């Protein structure tokens, strides 16, 4: 592409609108075929005026515990950074040192509400070191991810009205929906 053609195309390519500011959500559900473990990731990216970024992810893992009882483990990660619009691309720079990962608790979906607290207490007492190691591993994996992907871009943003956009991230097309703050 000639420089003149690139300049002309950039004049007619709509830029990322200021309405990108606010919180946007993406939900991803995966299942490990080998173990049957189901994980739901709810990603919320908040683009603030002044180009600050906060990304929070809620991880909910449904695993089997004693005697094949289902338990849902909930973890939360958050990281700060900055965003910059460049044409129809959104560049993301993560500050991996701000990463925080926390265990938020366990629920037992097949059990009554009255026994949730005692089951959670027993589960957490029995699995204390497992949970601590899991959070530590998750923190290390995410820190490396944010370190490697700082400066990555969500490319070719397309807005479908004021409440949804799609973008290309690597080889994948991803969709975000505006969420209430």
pLDDT, residue 87, reads: 86
Check if the beta carbon of residue 19 is closer than 8 Å to that of residue 162.
yes
- The per-residue pLDDT for range 52-71, each reduced to its tens digit, is 999 999 999 988 877 678 88
Q: Quote the mean pLDDT of the chain.
A: 86
Please, what is the angle between helix 116-126 and helix 128-149, to 10°? 80
- The per-residue pLDDT for range 73-112, each reduced to its tens digit, is 999 999 999 999 888 899 999 999 999 999 999 998 888 8
pLDDT bin (cut points 50, 70, 90) of residue 15 is: low
Check if the beta carbon of residue 59 is closer than 8 Å to that of residue 39.
yes
pLDDT bin (cut points 50, 70, 90) of residue 17 is: low
Please give the residue that has the higher pLDDT: either 76 or 170.
76
Percent of the chain predicted with pLDDT > 70: 90
Check if the beta carbon of residue 25 is closer than 8 Å to that of residue 44.
yes
Average pLDDT on 41-45 reads: 95
Tokens of 62: 């449904």
At 89, which helix (H) or strand (E)? Answer: strand 89-107
Ordered by start, the domain boundaries in the chain are 14-178
Average pLDDT on 116-142 reads: 91
Check if the beta carbon of residue 15 is closer than 8 Å to that of residue 85.
yes
Check if the beta carbon of residue 178 is closer than 8 Å to that of residue 163.
yes
SS3 157: strand
* CA separation for the pair 30, 18 (Å, rounded): 33
At 7, which helix (H) or strand (E)? Answer: helix 3-12
């Amino acid at each position: 592409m000639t420089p003149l053609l690139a300049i002309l195309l950039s004049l007619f390519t709509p830029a990322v609108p200021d309405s990108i500011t606010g919180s946007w959500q993406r939900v991803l559900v995966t299942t490990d075929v080998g173990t049957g473990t189901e994980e739901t990731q709810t990603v919320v990216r908040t683009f603030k005026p002044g180009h600050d970024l906060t990304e929070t992810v809620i991880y909910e893992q449904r695993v089997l515990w004693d005697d094949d009882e289902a338990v849902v483990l909930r973890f939360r990660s958050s990281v700060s950074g900055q965003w910059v619009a460049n044409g129809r691309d959104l560049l993301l720079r993560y500050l991996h040192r701000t990463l925080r990962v926390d265990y938020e608790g366990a629920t037992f979906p097949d059990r009554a509400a009255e026994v949730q607290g005692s089951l959670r207490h027993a589960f957490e007492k029995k699995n204390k070191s497992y949970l601590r190691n899991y959070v530590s591993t998750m923190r290390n994996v995410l820190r490396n991810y944010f370190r490697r992907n700082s400066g990555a871009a969500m490319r070719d943003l397309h807005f479908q009205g004021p409440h949804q956009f799609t973008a290309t991230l690597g080889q994948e097309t991803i969709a975000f929906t505006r969420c209430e703050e």
